[in-house]
Structure 1
């Protein structure tokens, strides 16, 4: 269960123990010294903490000789809010202000959190020493510019890295391809709104045979067909890659991209359904996908940028020259897709009623 950062210290300390709270997400809200002390009593497995307010807590500040260059004692912060069991078993960590951490912070955190699997540093621009995170399998970078190989090359020293998420990260791939070495076990890269090019992507795939999947939504490669590559691509180039993207968005449900990805993917499917020929179109998969979208994101079930709008060209393709009302009346209950087709017809008529 998640503990909301806005909870009172009494609830966090006493009631929290009874509820077996395991996740803390500050959501950018102010955190006091008392909040962190109370967390120590919980069996925390996931910690998402914004550190800007800790500059006002003297216990966590390391004074330096340089003006306005005080540092955050991140090791003390973690030891305050995580008990010994939590330190050993913490699986996910997200925080910020890495530029204010002491030198060798990555080595200290790597030793302090030996079983960390997911690491999400916000706005970090120097990954020197990141190789100390020996068991990290998922690395998520957000708005992190990389213009120097010295600041990036240690990412290749993460032996367990399987998933690399790069949201709004400019310069990453240009710099990465200048580094010596390769990822040994990387399976998936998500490049949302990053500046990867087709040439960079093809070189990346060639250098990393372990790579299986790459997501390219809202990148310069968003509409580039990579069906010749031996990997799965999530973009809007073809009907199949768009379906892949939709499935990925439904499965992932990252808060900052979920509905955006669904909306763009559905609009693109509607466009592609207008094309006379679609290779590999599978009606059952398409209808089931539309049902999932309407169920998990109800606001996309309506007229604008929604499922109903996408279903209209589908019916024109499968049942040409027939109204939706006629199609609904003629559906055969013995048909394998009767339930899905009936739902689709009813959905269209709900938002686009016929006279």
Structure 2
């Protein structure tokens, strides 16, 4: 994990000061700083939070050009405040709260008059300069909105969940990026050949009616990035799962400029990928995560799968694919466990490093917890402790694991599962000891400390805590026992725990 730069630290500090109202800005910040600060303000907020209102409060100090509202249900006040900023990129989340103030003149509040909304909220600079507009919602819009919005803006990228596709393509013919993932009712790509400048196409989780719908992709001469991944996870790809690669091969599709393909979580086979590569001479990278090609290599091709775990996880981090991370790491752990006797320390180290990458990088909390729980459940942790004889970073790793679990909200339905996972981790640590192998002093201290803390907070786990402490004491050396006797507080807690049985 790269160490944050001073500018990143500064942006985070200013953002926290703005959110906590502990900072006063009496001057206008430049664009780069403003965008970084607003990004941190939004990152610190929970889904459907209200940190976006800080944009109104600091409109005279922040020179923002990029705003991402996707985690918010913004209101009319926030939308109208956009006129105070010269924007080049704007993303919306749900837009239900805007229907009352911007109703469709013909159908009322069933549809959103998005044309009037943009007309009132975008200044002249934003209208001229906006290059990305995202509306990831299944909100209905007034009839003919595509042409009228196109007249307002000259967007190069556009995301939307519900529109008449041929009309859309005709109206936004200069698009460079198009994300029509998860679009409801999209059964055809007819008209996409009008997007002559398209470079990046995201078709995630789309199931077109027949293979002929892919044929117009052949006419996209500038397309470099294609994402046809799915969100369908299966253990039996022969019976379930989509396979757009097979459909494109059958349709004879060739995209001469294509450099990157993401076909993750599809049923594509290694043979089909090899054929696809033959048809696309410019192709350089294939993401085939959680597919039957999870362990495949193709000559001359950079593959994002199990053979490049760190790079694959980095890609998933950049594209915000937390669910896919969980499934990918599950596949990794299961594959390693099934081949445990044939793996050397280098292979196991790669798995551990992949796990640490997930825990250290800014994936969401549930992804970290789920991944770590699956790792501990695979018994790889115990195996590595026993075979590696407690490597020097064991204490730090246990501390990190504990902190990941400890950040989970205990006052939820996850409480029992979380506490049991933490105790299971500590139990696995003491059970990894064998004759001639001592628990290092620092590891022993952490086991005692965390066990006492958990039992104090959750007395119903007294018996499990007792078992862990007894097992730890059983394997202590005479020198370790002597050291403990010099720590009266620790000795008292150990005795109380043992005597509580």
Assess same fold via TM > 0.5. Answer: yes
Q: Which residue of structure 1 lines up, in the alignment, with residue 15 of structure 2? A: none
Which of 180, 183, 187 is the matching residue for 1:121? 180
SS at match of 2:358: helix
Q: Residues 68-107 of structure 1, C-alpha deviation per residue, up to 9 Å, x if partnerless? A: 9x87665555555443433424346343449867579489
Distance across 2 between alignment mates of 1:243 and 1:307: 21
**Does the alignment pair 1:235 with 2:314?**
no
Structure-2 change in CA distance of 1:45 and 1:202 (3 Å):
same
| 1:245 partnered with 2:294 | no
- 1:287-310 Cα shifts (integer Å, max 9, x gaps): 654543332265478564259954
Equivalences for 1:154-165 in 2 at 5 Å? 154-165=216-227
After TM superposition, the score normalised by the length of structure 2 is 0.51
- CA gap of 1:121–1:235, structure 2 versus 1, over 3 A, is same
Distance 2:346 2:151 in 1: 47
In structure 1, distance between residues paired with 2:396 and 2:180: 46
> Offset of 1:157 from its aligned partner?
4.1
Shift of 1:343: 1.6
Which residue number corresponds to residue 209 of structure 1?
281
Report 1 or 2 for greater relative contact order, CA contacts < 8 Å, sequence distance ≥ 6. 1
**Given the alignment, which residue of 47, 56, 62 partners 1:19?**
62
Q: CA deviation at 1:285?
A: 5.9
**Structure 2 unpaired stretches of 5+:** 1-37, 43-47, 158-175, 233-241, 400-424, 434-474, 476-501
Is the CA contact (8 Å cut-off) linking 2:190 and 2:213 kept in structure 1? Answer: yes
Other-structure match for 2:200: 138
Please identify which structure carries the higher helix content: 2
Structure 1 window deviating more from structure 2 (299-308 vs 152-161): it is: 299-308
Kept in 2: contact 1:96–1:123 (CA 8 A): no
193 and 82 in structure 1: CA distance in 2 versus 1, 3 angstrom threshold = farther
Change (3 A) 1:345 1:7: closer
Whether 2:397 is the aligned partner of 1:347: answer yes
- Deviation, 1:23, is 1.4
**1:193 aligns to what?**
265
Residue of structure 1 aligned with 2:320, choices 249, 254, 261: 254
- Alpha carbons 1:9, 1:34 under 8 Å: kept: no
RMSD of aligned alpha carbons? 4.5
Mapped partners of 1:60, 1:114: distance in 2: 24
SS in 2 for 1:85: helix
Distance 1:216 1:53, change over 3 A: same
Q: Which runs of 5+ in 1 are unaligned?
A: 329-341
